[in-house]
Amino acid sequence: MKVDSPMPSFDGAAQWLNQATPNASQARGRPTLVHFWSINSEVSQANLSHVAELRDQRKREGLRVIAVHVPNSQAEGDTRAVRDAIASLKMTEPCALDNEHKLRNAFLNEQGAVPAYYLFDNESRLRSFSTGQNGLMIIEDELDQMLSDLRGRRPFCPECEFFLNEEALYCSDCGLPLALPSSRGSHPYYEKHHSASLPTVRLVNPDPLIGQIIEGRYELTDRVGEGGMSFVYRARRVHIGDEVAVKILLRKFANDGAALARFRREARAAAISHHPNVITIYDFGRTSDEEVPAFIVMEFVKGTPLRDLLKSENHFPVERARRLMRVICAGVGAAHRKKVVHRDLKPENILVVAPDDDSEFESVRVVDFGFAKLVTDVGAGPADAVVGTPFYMSPEQCLGQALDARSDVYSLGAMFYEMLSGRRPFTSEKVSGIINKHLYEEPSPLPPSLAIPRRISAGIMQALAKNPRDRPQTATDLARQLQLI
Q: How far apart are CA 96 and CA 71, in angstroms?
A: 7
Q: How far apart are CA 47 and CA 120, in angstroms?
A: 14
**Single-letter amino acid code for the residue at 167:** E
Distance of CA 45 to the CA centre of its chain: 35
With a CB cutoff of 8 Å and minimum separation 6, the contacts of 145 are none
Q: How far apart are CA 324 and CA 353, in angstroms?
A: 10
Beta bridge partners of 33: 65, 114
Q: How far apart are CA 393 and CA 376, in angstroms?
A: 22
Nearest to 54 by CA among 143, 173, 164, 186: 143
Residue 344 a catalytic site member = yes
Residue-wise DSSP of 121-183: -HHHHHHHHHHS-TTHHHHHHHHHHHHHHHHHHS-B-TTT-PBPPTT-SB-TTT--BTTS--S
Nearest to 423 by CA among 333, 476, 347: 347
In 156-280, DSSP assigns E strands to: 213-214, 218-226, 230-237, 243-249
Q: Which whole-number Å values give the CA distances from 242 to 65, 219, 296, in the listed order?
A: 43, 11, 16
Sheet of strand 230-237, all strands in order from the earlier edge strand to the far edge: 213-214, 218-226, 230-237, 243-249, 294-299, 281-286
- Phi and psi at residue 74, in whole multiples of 5°? -95, 5
Given 4, 121, 308, 344, which residue is catalytic? 344
Q: Which whole-number Å values give the CA distances from 80 to 39, 43, 107, 183, 401, in the listed order?
A: 11, 12, 22, 40, 52
**Single-letter amino acid code for the residue at 412:** L
**Burial 41-64, CB ≥16 within 10 A → b, else e:** eebeeebbebbbebbeebeebbbb
Residue 378: count of CB within 10 angstroms of its CB: 5
Nearest to 443 by CA among 431, 456, 460, 420: 460
Local structure of 133: helix, strand or coil: coil
In 41-184, DSSP assigns E strands to: 64-71, 95-96, 113-114
Indicate which residues carry an active-site annotation: 344
